[in-house]
Amino acid sequence: MDFSYSYLVLVLPLVTFLFLGLMGTRLSRKTAGVVGTSMMGITAVIAYAISLAYFFGTDQGQIIEGIRQQIVAWDLTWLEFSEKLVIKIGFLLDPISAMMLIVITTVSFLVHLYSLGYMQDHNHEYEKGLQRYYAFLSLFSLSMLGLVVAPNIFQMYIFWELVGVSSYLLIGFYYTLPAAVSASKKAFIVTRFADLGFLVGILILSYFTQTFDFITLTSNPTAAIETAGGATFMGCSVMAWALTLIFMGGAGKSAMFPLHIWLPDAMEGPTPVSALIHAATMVVAGVFLIARMFPLYCMEEGTMTVITVIGAFTAFYAAAVACVQSDIKRVLAFSTISQIAFMVTSLGVARPELHEGVGYMASMFHLFTHAMFKALLFLCAGAIIHAVHSNEMSAMGGLRKYMPICNIAFLIGCLAIAGIPPFAGFFSKDEILVAAFEQHTFWGIWMMLVAGMTAFYMFRLYYKIFWWNNPDYGHHTPHDAPMTMSLPLIILSVVSIVAGLIPFGEFVSWNREAYHIHLNYTVAISSVAVAVVAILLATKLYLKENEAPAKMAKSFKGLWTAAYNRFYMDELYQFITHKIIFERVSRPLAWFDRQIVDGSLNSLANLANSASFAIRKLQSGSIQSYVYVYLIGVLLLAAITVICLI
Amino acid sequence: MESVGNIIMYFIIALAIIVFSVLTVTTGKILRAATYLLFVLFATAGIYFQMGYEFLGAVQIAVYAGGILVLFVFAIFLTGKPGKASEPLESSKKKIGLSAAILGALVCGYALFSKADMCNAVVSQPIDVTINNIGSMLLSTEKFGYLLPFEAISILLLACIIGGIVIARKR
Amino acid sequence: MDLTLLMYLVPSLIMFCCGVYGFVTRKNMIAVLISLELMLNAVDINFVVFNRFLFPGEMEGMFFSLFAIAIAAAETALVIAIIINVFRMAKNIDIRELTKMKF
């Protein structure tokens, strides 16, 4: 099969970005939106064609002995520094990149469509630059697509950074709001800090393996690991360090603890952006990165343990915080962190020998379903915010009467994320739990507990928005969103219902061999039981307005306050950066720089200056004083001559 | 033993040199300074005559008194108000000048008096310096001939004339 | 009473020291030049009297003075040209204010 036309997937968003970015101000808002959306639609169609051709193509060489082959559609040499240091731009097709193509273009297209309605009047004074908004969205789509199809780690790094930039631009889209500006800076700095680890990891890895190429690296991971020749650094092998550092980059983008602090703040951006970037696509880049290099990671048991522990802890932490937040977008943000942590944990516990590497498949499956239902939830949240003009739960309640479509869509999303069959989340989460149990019962029970918390906080959110009480909305009655906004909700609802039924394992597995998903009924039944119990608990507490939640909050006051303040992680960062780094490190360094480094040079300059001032009187320009000095000199010489010689 | 006339002549000349030298550098009015210089130059010419170098004395009068001094006077008239006394000197400046002069006098005086036997030399024999003699020596290439310096000074004077014109001409 | 060499050297020394004093103290450039002429003249006298008293058979001292007078004339002419030029530009020939040349 010829995939050479796949360059269109990258070129079309690029052209759109350039067109809207350069010419956007000459277009009307509506035209710009329509242009951006339709270009994204075309891109989506092409991406679907590529993916479907890849998955269902019957050509010779596409599947050899049951293994799907990795296909490099095209590969251009971009920079050639030396014989070995060559940076290429290419297009790698394999199950996960084809799957990501579908996810990204679907969500991106739906978000483009949704934004046509959402960005129309809401917050209108901030939304002068709709053209700019669509240009940035195109830039983001381009970078994300470039990231997932990268056949070498360097291209991935480049697009990785581009994704970070477009995320920064979109979070700070309402640039007149100080909160948005600082949130965008925070997101950029934190992820850049993590990317430092990524870059160092890339350098170490490629220094030893002499290649950036994913296929070379992963087709023979043992050889790649052995290129380091058992070199160690601080007690760990160099390759473990390299992979851990690369994971650090992934953890930054995927908001793993302790680098998660930027994601809740990133909700300052427009809600469709949150749906696209901070729920469905960009934040799973870290998961995708580990999956891409999975055979290498399998070789380093220590790194896998690190990944598992960080993922499991983040899942629990974020779920705990999500239980008490009052801003609906924050709840969804922490839910996103928690769900991505599920995927990371799933990769961390995956081993080729354990149940045919089910963790890998589960992680990718969850990535796929989560992208759909989390985008759905965010877009619903956008519609709700659009309707009531507030992010706070206290301003909502009883909305089921006013917004029926939104109500149903949100409920479907909640059921999906809670893991109730037959919704999408059930199947993927079940596989993750199976993988966790395969690794160790502890991880299995831990993740099941977190899954229960997920169900609880999602239904708390749902009830608080749509049930709870019936506040008086006054003359401004909330109503369902317009069709451009409702249509994506409906599409994503349908997808969220049926996505779990896709035989995902047939397409994606760690060794690209078809894998038959079969439910583990023990795990499935117990996880559903936990979810149902959690939902019932949430129903009891939040269905009708009552005092029980407030009482509970009071009786667990310390815990509740700590969770509400996200366990003081932001304060901890503030403390570390300001009190320790700025005060104790930067300030003395600045002092040293100013007083000692600059000071020594300045004092030298001052010395020369004052010396010049002191002796400049000698150079008076007065001939008479010169002559006088000269005469004195001559007289001295004469006196010496007279005294000594005569 | 010198003739009395010669001795009287010497004292007049020495007195004139000392007095007018001092006056030249101490008077406040520049035109007076030039005049006192003229007297000093005449007295110097007197020494030359007394020594028997009549040609040198004549040159001294012609060139210095007749030429250079006239130049001075013209310059004084061109550059300022000749009658106006310059403002009195600051004492610090005076001290500096005096110290330099006295120090120089001390060093030279010490040198002179430590060579007392040389300084006590007297005129022993008459000399015969005729114009004829001087002329042939100036243009001679023999030993003690001065043709080369003579030509060099001619070139120097020419250069001086051209330089004077170039510097002083209006631009 | 004999007229010794010393008796001619002393007025010459005094003349020279007056020249030094004048050169260092005077403000007017022409006065400075006059002081310079005094010093030159003192030197001329020395040449002549040394010649007359110590080497009466020779004429080097006299010729040296002769050339010195010629050079002094040339130098004076040139310096006066410079002074006039300076005066034309600065409207002033006070030597203490003409310190621009130091830069």
pLDDT tens for A237-289 read 888 888 888 889 888 888 888 888 888 888 888 888 888 888 888 888 888 99
- The backbone torsions φ and ψ at residue A80, rounded to the nearest 5 degrees and listed phi first, read -125, 100
Q: Which residues of C touch B151 (CB under 8 A)?
A: none
Distance CA A479, CA A378 (A): 17
Distance CA A118, CA A274 (A): 13
CA A3 from chain centre, in angstroms, equals 29
Q: Which of B76, B94, B122 sits opposite C2 (nearest CB)?
A: B122
- Establish, for the pair of chains A and B, how many residue pairs have beta carbons separated by less than 8 Å: 21
Residue C21 and residue B44: Cβ atoms within 8 Å?
no
A434-469 confidence digits (pLDDT tens): 888 888 888 888 888 888 888 888 888 888 888 777
**CB-based contact, A640 to chain B, within 8 Å:** no
Residue C32 lies in a domain: yes
Instruction: Please state, as a whole number, how many other Cβ atoms lie within 10 Å of the Cβ of residue A517.
Output: 21
**CB-based contact, B92 to chain A, within 8 Å:** no
Residue C14 lies in a domain: yes
Residue A635 and residue B96: Cβ atoms within 8 Å?
no
Q: Which residues of B touch C76 (CB under 8 A)?
A: 68, 71-72
**pLDDT value of residue A298:** 85
pLDDT band with cut points at 50, 70 and 90 for residue B170: confident
**pLDDT value of residue A123:** 52
**pLDDT value of residue A125:** 54
**pLDDT value of residue A274:** 86
**pLDDT value of residue A27:** 79
Q: Where are the alpha helices (DSSP H) in C1-103?
A: 5-25, 29-54, 60-90
Distance CA A622, CA A618 (A): 9
**pLDDT value of residue A446:** 87
**pLDDT value of residue B152:** 93
CA closest to B98 among chain A residues:
A628
Question: A513: helix, coil or strand?
Answer: strand
Residue A638 and residue B107: Cβ atoms within 8 Å?
yes
**CB-based contact, A615 to chain C, within 8 Å:** no
Residue C98 lies in a domain: no
**Which among C14, C18, C23, C60 is the top mutation candidate for probing chain B, defined by the most B β-carbons within 10 Å of its own β-carbon?**
C18
The whole-angstrom distance between B72's CA and the closest CA on chain A is: 20
Q: Is the ipTM of this complex over 0.95?
A: no
What is the average pLDDT across A491-516?
Answer: 81
Q: What is this structure's pTM?
A: 0.68
Two structure tokens written together for C95: 């030597």
Share of chain C above pLDDT 70, in %: 95
Domain ranges of chain B: 4-129, 130-171
CA closest to A628 among chain B residues:
B100
- CA distances B95 to A262, A603, A621, C32, Å, are 82, 39, 20, 17
C10-60 confidence digits (pLDDT tens): 999 999 999 999 988 888 888 999 999 999 999 999 999 999 888 888 888
Residue A624 and residue C102: Cβ atoms within 8 Å?
no
**pLDDT value of residue B85:** 64
Residue C46 lies in a domain: yes
**pLDDT value of residue A555:** 78
| Single-letter code of the amino acid located at A542 | Y
CA closest to B71 among chain C residues:
C77
CB proximity under 8 Å: A 570-629 to B: 628
**CB-based contact, A82 to chain C, within 8 Å:** no
pLDDT band with cut points at 50, 70 and 90 for residue A236: confident
What is the average pLDDT across B6-23?
Answer: 93
**pLDDT value of residue A422:** 79
The CATH number of whichever domain residue C60 belongs to comes to 1.10.287.3510
**Is it the case that residue A75 has pLDDT exceeding 90?**
no
B48-78 confidence digits (pLDDT tens): 998 888 899 999 999 988 889 998 998 888 8
Q: How many domains does chain C have?
A: 1
pLDDT band with cut points at 50, 70 and 90 for residue B17: very high
| DSSP result, A181-249 | HHHHHHHHHHHHHHHHHHHHHHHHHHHHH---BHHHHHHSHHHHHHTTTT-EETTEEHHHHHHHHHHHH
Lowest mean pLDDT of A259-273, A507-521, C73-87, name the range: A507-521
The whole-angstrom distance between A639's CA and the closest CA on chain C is: 16
Residue C87 lies in a domain: yes
**Is it the case that residue A179 has pLDDT exceeding 90?**
no
Stronger pLDDT, A59 or B167, i.e. the higher one: B167
**Is it the case that residue B79 has pLDDT exceeding 90?**
no
Distance CA A490, CA B126 (A): 141
Residue C65 lies in a domain: yes
CA A614 from chain centre, in angstroms, equals 64
The whole-angstrom distance between C99's CA and the closest CA on chain A is: 4
Share of chain A above pLDDT 90, in %: 8
What is the average pLDDT across C78-94?
Answer: 84
Closest-CA residue to A85 (of A152, A147, A150) = A152
A578-623 confidence digits (pLDDT tens): 788 888 888 888 888 888 888 899 999 999 999 988 888 777 777 7
pLDDT band with cut points at 50, 70 and 90 for residue C98: confident
**pLDDT value of residue A1:** 64
Return the exposure string of A31-63: e unless at least 16 CB atoms fall within 10 Å of the residue's CB, then b: ebbebbbebbebbbebbebbbebbbebeeeebe
Residue C103 lies in a domain: no
Q: Do the Cβ atoms of C23 and C35 come closer than 8 Å?
A: yes
**Which among A616, A618, A624 is the top mutation candidate for probing chain C, defined by the most C β-carbons within 10 Å of its own β-carbon?**
A624
Give me the domain span that covers residue C57: 5-91
CA C85 from chain centre, in angstroms, equals 22
- The backbone torsions φ and ψ at residue B121, rounded to the nearest 5 degrees and listed phi first, read -60, 150
B138-161 confidence digits (pLDDT tens): 898 888 888 999 999 999 999 988
What is the average pLDDT across A160-180?
Answer: 88
**Domain B4-129: CATH architecture, name and number where available:** Up-down Bundle (1.20)
State the average pLDDT for chain B: 86
**pLDDT value of residue B21:** 94
| DSSP result, A66-125 | TEEPPEEEEEEEEEESSSS-EEEEEEEE-HHHHHHHHHHHHHHHHHHHHHHHHHHHTTGG
Return the exposure string of B49-72: e unless at least 16 CB atoms fall within 10 Å of the residue's CB, then b: bbbbbebbbebbbebbbebbbebb
